[in-house]
A = this chain, B = another copy of it.
Amino acid sequence: MTPSLGLCYNLVPMSRHNSANHPDGHDCFYDTTVRVRYAETDQMGVVYYGNYYLWFEVGRVELCRQLGFEYKKMETDDDSFIVVAESSCRYRKPAKFDDVLRIRTRIAEAQRRTIRFAYEIYRDETNELLANGETFHVICDRLGRPKSLPEKYRKLFGVKAAHLAADSADTQAISKK
Interface residues of A (CB under 8 A from B): 35, 37-39, 41-46, 48-51, 53-54, 57-58, 61, 70-72, 81, 83-92, 94, 97-98, 135, 144, 177
Copies of this subunit: 4
**Chain B CB within 10 Å — which of A44, A81, A88 has the most?**
A44
Q: Are B61 and A38 in contact (CB under 8 A)?
A: yes
Q: Are B43 and A39 in contact (CB under 8 A)?
A: no
Q: Say whether, besides A44-B83, A86-B88, A98-B71, A53 and B54 are in contact (CB < 8 Å).
A: no
Give the residue name and chain of the B residue nearest to A86 (CB): B90
Q: Nearest chain B CB to A102's CB is how many angstroms away?
A: 16
Q: Are A42 and B41 in contact (CB under 8 A)?
A: yes
**Cross-chain contact of A84 among B37, B49, B71, B86 (Cβ < 8 A):** B49
Interchain CA distance A166-B172 in the complex, whole Å:
43
Q: Is the interface of A mostly helix, strand, loop or mixed?
A: mixed
Interchain CA distance A40-B41 in the complex, whole Å:
9
Q: Are B94 and A144 in contact (CB under 8 A)?
A: yes
Shortest 3 CB-CB contacts between residues of A and residues of B = A88-B88, A50-B53, A41-B43
Interchain CA distance A69-B38 in the complex, whole Å:
16
Q: Are A87 and B86 in contact (CB under 8 A)?
A: no
Which residues of chain B have C-beta atoms less than 8 A from A135's C-beta? Answer: 49
Give the residue name and chain of the B residue nearest to A44 (CB): B81
Interchain CA distance A89-B86 in the complex, whole Å:
6
Q: Are A48 and B58 in contact (CB under 8 A)?
A: no
Which residues of chain B have C-beta atoms less than 8 A from A177's C-beta? Answer: 92
Which residues of chain B have C-beta atoms less than 8 A from A50's C-beta? Answer: 39, 50-51, 53-54, 57
